[in-house]
Amino acid sequence: MDSTTQLKALCKEYAAELCAGPTVAWCAENDFDLTPRDDLEDGEFDADDLDSYEDQPCGQDWINRHHYARRYTIDADRSYIGARVLVAGGGPTVWIDFEDDLIIGTWGHDRFEIPFKDSWNVGSTLESDWDSGL
């Protein structure tokens, strides 16, 4: 498999995970107790199935598993505009841009971009981190 194909596959893998959000399998692996629901397909997750809001998988869970570095974009008054999270480097480099909801991968002269939906609420978590001074 050539580097372009590998880069696209890696970016699509991150996009799929971010779009899908936490799954039942992920919750089981991380000791989240879910009540089964008949209206969901196998592997689907509904945050309402968790005992409390505090128990819900969130952006911080995703950040803890993936991030190498963060870059914040701020306005002149230091208010949060957006953030990028580095999730791969050293061969392919992959930044996830939570301002534009875009995954940007580069490897040598190759570049690949793919949009995503932030079902983990990572962008909100990054904004909260910035606002709290982290």
pLDDT tens-digit map of 55-93: 455 778 888 888 899 999 999 999 999 999 999 998 899
pLDDT value of position 34: 47
Pair of tokens at residue 117: 């939906």
Q: pLDDT above 90 covers what percent of the chain?
A: 44
Residue 62 resides in a domain: yes
- The answer to whether residue 95 is domain-embedded is yes
Q: Is residue 73 part of a domain?
A: yes
**Interval 92-118 mean pLDDT:** 94
Q: How far is CA 49 from CA 57, 73, 86, 110, in A?
A: 11, 35, 31, 42
Look at residue 36 and tell me if it is in a domain: no
Give CA–CA dist 62/115, Å, rounded.
Answer: 18
Residue 116 burial (CB count, 10 A): 19
Task: Quote the pLDDT of residue 29.
Answer: 61
**Residue 12 pLDDT exceeds 70:** yes
Angstrom distance (rounded) from CA 71 to CA 75: 13
**In which domain, by residue range, is 10 found?**
3-21+57-131
84: in domain? yes
Q: How many domains does the chain have?
A: 1
